[in-house]
Amino acid sequence: MNSVHAKLLMMAAAGSLLFSNSILAQDSAYTPQILPPAPRAARVRVMQGPELEMADDKSAIITWTSNNPGGTDEHFGVVHYGTNPIELGDTAKSHIRLNQTHSYTVFRVRVRGLSPRTTYYYTVDSMEANGRSDGVNSPVKHFSTR
Amino acid sequence: MTRVRLTIISVVVLCLVALCMSVGGRKVSAQNAAAAAEPIYNPYPPGILPSDLPSELARVLREVDGIEAEAIRQWHAIPPPVVSGNPPILQNTGVPLVEILGKLMNYDRTISPNKNKACASCHMPYAGFSGPIPSVNLTMIAYPASAPFRAGKRTAQRYTYSSYFPPLQYNATQGAFFGGNFWDSRATGYLTRAPDAEQAQFPPVDPNEMANPDTACITYKLSLAPYRSLFEEIWGAGSLSSITWPANVASICATPGGAAVFGTNTQPVVLSTADRTLSDNDYLHWAASISAFEHSLSVSPFTSKFDAFLKGTYKLTAEESAGYELFKGKGNCNSCHLDGRSTAPAPTAPTAVDTGVAADVTPVFTCFGSANLGLPKNPRDSFYYETTPDSLGFTPNPGGFTYTDLGLGTFLRSGFGSAANPNSAWRPFASTSDGQMQTATARDVAMVPPQCPTTEAPGPYFQKEFFHNGYIKSLKQLVHFYNTRDVYPFAVESGNCPAGTVEKVNCWPEPEVPANEDMTVGKLGLTDAEENQIVAFLQTLTDGFTTPFPDIGTYTGTCMSGGTAATQGNSTIISAIKLRELMNQR
């Protein structure tokens, strides 16, 4: 084996080693960040709904779409409900994660612990993770369990 | 060869397998467990353990040993560093040396009490550093411990990009927890500021995993390892070799943790105060070295099709591109699996196309947060059946089926099966965190061995498991679950869907944890074709496209084939009611 041949073999071995084992320094400029909240919307309005998505004998899902309220990404859809339309004393809330790239947000709230074959009245709102309301105004609507 | 002859041969093979292993009884033997002093622990009803478990564990050990031998060669090929300055810097080759030290540790089976379990035994590269045994992924979902066949309660999380998670924190501005490692975020990084480093400290002393009875046992075994000189070169002369070990250290460290002989003593290796401090520091350096490996290009390299797409060197196919638009739009996947894009004005309607520009060229496809996705309880999880003591007197799960995995909530309470919470200020958030599990990076979710090129039936495919309890068996099912959880809800447990329905197709059993359920998902309105497009996009997040993924070709097992992705694994579903009956009959 001449010296050139030997050098080629050594280079091939070194290349193979680098190729296969990636004993290389991590060189990504990426620094992960926790996304800060988007600015809060000046006003949050219901664009579609609210309406009943489904109901069985003891639970229901209420859904609506609003403009993206901004604020904390961890958000809650809130349903105030009761069997008397002028006394909506119960509250259900469900986790919704805002998508900062969307101008709209679909809220869905699961309401549990309902009675069968009963009509419930409700309004909706949404709030930030810290409980701060988005100040949504919605009409009183109703649904019935099965 | 006729079909009859094939059948006869199959029967003979099955009989031979049955002779070697009587699953469901108490007579299971295991090649890999031959070194174990204690008898096999098998409290499981028939069908929980896969029939090929012993041979598959042995297969993975052969692969682990092969990569360990490779790592030793790679270490010896690295030129020695020039030690410079004070604090001393390993000039020129310090980075590759600490990375290769982490790799050597990761594939070292001698760290476990029975010398049969390396970290990699549950985290192999061809599975994106998650579970390497298709039949385990299909059945018991957690991987057997060094003490066979104790097992944990959750799926093995991928290492990839774990080092990018920040320390666990309650972010007051966002009003939520972010960071940490593990499904329940219990590796907080509170001490080292590196959650993935602290993650590496838990499984070696978890009685349901590697099962060392004392962290000093890891130090002791490092002091005997062929790479101990590398450890001391990096972490200081004498850091291992100056510790005076008691005469019974080998015996103690060959006994799996949790054994009754140890009582409540978590430090059965008796050391002087100075040596205990040395050992504790060595264990931190074990963690830091493994973290360096996990952060290296060997594990987290940003070499996927999607990375090439961001650099403009790969054009997404029509299917992939449509999937990406759905991922960002109608599917709303990037509300949690952040794609680092979209700084421009947002779409104005659910059907609009995002025109945002790249905000960050190397996103990790997670928000680092946690959520309760409302997954059904998986009665195939072996943990539910470990209610009786093994031969060492250890009972992994005294509560049996009453155990409910509350994830982050349990950790914040310092509860059973988790770890101590180092910050009492987090404790009040426990109830609002119940059921929440870490949002995994979507990167490498589809990584498979080259010879089984997909996770999806009909394949040939490599069977993986998804989410913390492995209930989901294909990416199609994963997307379909997000899409239809609330379209096909049934108040049943797995295995008990009503007649006329098909579990995971048009029947989703009730959530294991109803509290704090995330309602961002559950009814996305995606068509069947759109679900498939999102799966196609997820497959663009697999590393190894621009540069081969290291050690991807080490799988020596077989591929599966047949069936459909929608019902993949359904043949292994066992009714939860039936399983409870079988357990009560023991």
Provide the token pair at B416.
């059973």
User: Of the candidates B161, B205, B157, B145, which has an alpha carbon nearest to the alpha carbon of residue B184?
Assistant: B157
Contacts with A, B 236-275, CB within 8 Å: none
Chain A positions in Cβ-Cβ contact with residue B295 (cut-off 8 Å): 26
Strands, DSSP E only, in B299-442? Answer: 370-371, 437-438
B345 and chain A: CB distance < 8 Å anywhere? yes
**Per-residue pLDDT averaged across B104-121, rounded?**
98
Kindly determine whether residue A99 and residue B335, on different chains, have CB atoms separated by under 8 Å: yes
Chain B positions in Cβ-Cβ contact with residue A25 (cut-off 8 Å): 95-96, 296
**Per-residue pLDDT averaged across B348-368, rounded?**
66
> Buried (b) or exposed (e) across B382-402, using 16+ Cβ within 10 A?
bbbbbbeebebebbbbeebbe
Of B175, B360, B550, the CB nearest to A74: B175
Over residues B27-86, the pLDDT tens digits come to 333 334 444 567 899 999 998 999 999 999 999 999 999 999 999 999 999 999 999 999
- On the question of pLDDT at A98 being above 80, the answer is yes
Q: What is the pLDDT of residue B348?
A: 42
Chain A positions in Cβ-Cβ contact with residue B175 (cut-off 8 Å): 72, 74, 128-130
A129 alpha carbon, distance to own chain's centre: 12
Q: What is the pLDDT of residue B344?
A: 47
Contact between residue A121 and residue A88 where contact means Cβ atoms under 8 Å apart:
yes
Percentage of the residues of chain A whose pLDDT score is greater than 70: 78
Kindly determine whether residue B520 and residue A95, on different chains, have CB atoms separated by under 8 Å: yes
Q: What is the pTM of this model?
A: 0.90
B419 and chain A: CB distance < 8 Å anywhere? no
Q: Which of A25-34, B9-18, B213-222, B430-439 has the lowest mean pLDDT?
A: B9-18
Q: What is the pLDDT of residue B360?
A: 63
Complex ipTM: 0.89
Of A22, A68, A98, the CB nearest to B301: A22
- On the question of pLDDT at A1 being above 60, the answer is no
**Per-residue pLDDT averaged across A102-128, rounded?**
97
Contact between residue B460 and residue B453 where contact means Cβ atoms under 8 Å apart:
yes
Over residues A133-146, the pLDDT tens digits come to 999 999 999 999 99
Q: What is the pLDDT of residue A31?
A: 62
User: B536 Cβ partners below 8 Å, 6+ apart?
Assistant: B317, B319, B320, B322, B323
Report the residue of chain A nearest B295, measured CA to CA.
Answer: A26
Kindly determine whether residue A98 and residue B335, on different chains, have CB atoms separated by under 8 Å: yes
Over residues B383-439, the pLDDT tens digits come to 999 999 999 999 999 999 999 999 999 999 999 999 999 999 999 999 999 999 999
- What span, in angstroms and rounded, lies between the C-alpha atoms of B561 and A14? 39
Distance from CA of B374 to the nearest CA of A (A): 12
CA end-to-end span of chain B, whole Å? 43
Strands, DSSP E only, in chain A? Answer: 46-55, 60-67, 74-82, 90-97, 104-111, 119-128, 141-144
Query: Does an H or E element contain B176, and which?
Result: strand B176-178
B178 and chain A: CB distance < 8 Å anywhere? yes
- On the question of pLDDT at A8 being above 60, the answer is no
Over residues B464-512, the pLDDT tens digits come to 999 999 999 999 999 999 999 999 999 999 999 999 999 999 999 999 9
- What span, in angstroms and rounded, lies between the C-alpha atoms of A63 and A50? 5
Task: Kindly report the backbone phi and psi dihedral angles of residue B99, in degrees, each rounded to the nearest multiple of 5, phi listed first.
Answer: -65, -40
Percentage of the residues of chain A whose pLDDT score is greater than 90: 73
Q: What is the pLDDT of residue B358?
A: 57
- What span, in angstroms and rounded, lies between the C-alpha atoms of B118 and B131? 13
User: B385 by DSSP, 3-state: which?
Assistant: helix
User: Of the candidates B355, B559, B373, B329, which has an alpha carbon nearest to the alpha carbon of residue B462?
Assistant: B559
Q: What is the pLDDT of residue A14?
A: 36
Report the residue of chain B nearest A108, measured CA to CA.
Answer: B519
- What span, in angstroms and rounded, lies between the C-alpha atoms of B219 and B81? 24
**Per-residue pLDDT averaged across B159-184, rounded?**
96
B166 and chain A: CB distance < 8 Å anywhere? yes
Q: How many Cβ atoms sit within 10 Å of the Cβ of residue B290?
A: 26
**Per-residue pLDDT averaged across B129-158, rounded?**
97
B519 and chain A: CB distance < 8 Å anywhere? yes
Of B77, B178, B517, the CB nearest to A110: B517
**Per-residue pLDDT averaged across B431-451, rounded?**
98
Confidence of residue A2 (pLDDT cuts 50, 70, 90): very low
Report the residue of chain B nearest A60, measured CA to CA.
Answer: B486
Distance from CA of B342 to the nearest CA of A (A): 6
Provide the token pair at B178.
């972010």
CA end-to-end span of chain A, whole Å? 88
User: B521 Cβ partners below 8 Å, 6+ apart?
Assistant: B332, B373, B482, B483, B485
Distance from CA of A130 to the nearest CA of B (A): 6
Report the residue of chain A nearest B488, measured CA to CA.
Answer: A54
- What span, in angstroms and rounded, lies between the C-alpha atoms of B42 and B27? 8
B74 and chain A: CB distance < 8 Å anywhere? yes
Mean of the per-residue pLDDT values of chain B: 91
Chain B positions in Cβ-Cβ contact with residue A109 (cut-off 8 Å): 519
Exposed, middle or buried by CB within 10 Å (0-12, 13-18, 19+), for B478?
A: buried
Q: What is the pLDDT of residue A35?
A: 83
B443 and chain A: CB distance < 8 Å anywhere? no
Contact between residue B504 and residue B531 where contact means Cβ atoms under 8 Å apart:
no
Q: What is the pLDDT of residue A123?
A: 98
**Per-residue pLDDT averaged across B193-221, rounded?**
98
Q: What is the pLDDT of residue B306?
A: 95
Q: What is the pLDDT of residue B186?
A: 98
Q: Which CATH class is domain A46-144?
A: mainly beta
User: Of the candidates B290, B395, B354, which has an alpha carbon nearest to the alpha carbon of residue B43?
Assistant: B395
Over residues B236-251, the pLDDT tens digits come to 999 999 999 999 999 9
Q: What is the pLDDT of residue B346?
A: 46
B95 and chain A: CB distance < 8 Å anywhere? yes
The dihedral of CA A15, A21, A23, A26: what is its sign?
Answer: positive
- On the question of pLDDT at B214 being above 50, the answer is yes
The residues spanned by each domain of chain A are 46-144
Contact between residue B549 and residue B543 where contact means Cβ atoms under 8 Å apart:
yes
